[in-house]
Amino acid sequence: MKPFLSAGVDYPAEAAPSAVVVPLVIDGNYELLKKRLYPMSCGVKVKYSVLDPIEPGTLTVEELVMKTENMIRAALEKSVEQI
């Protein structure tokens, strides 16, 4: 997983500073699109998980993005350990 960038979060965070962020984990998508779009792999299991919401409070955009990234990374690592 590549590091998250805060560039796409700046405007929404400014427009709705009290909006709750709900991290979504998509696990297995890389296997589905391993060969780009063609041919798409068949029989690949993709798992979606909704994590606990994050109240932005006094977090900066960078802190919010970092917290979201850390939560998603932890969920993916936990998923790998269960295999």
Tens-binned pLDDT, residue by residue, of the chain (83 aa): 889 998 888 888 889 988 999 999 998 877 777 776 666 667 778 899 999 999 988 899 999 999 999 999 999 998 777 75
The span from the CA of 60 to the CA of 77, in Å, is 26
The beta-strand segments (E) located in the chain are 24-27, 47-50
Hey, what are 11's tokens?
A: 């405007």
Report pLDDT for 22.
95
Report pLDDT for 74.
95
Who contacts 71 (Cβ-Cβ below 8 Å, separation ≥6)? 23, 51, 52, 54
The span from the CA of 51 to the CA of 25, in Å, is 7
Report pLDDT for 53.
97
Is this prediction's pTM over 0.85? no
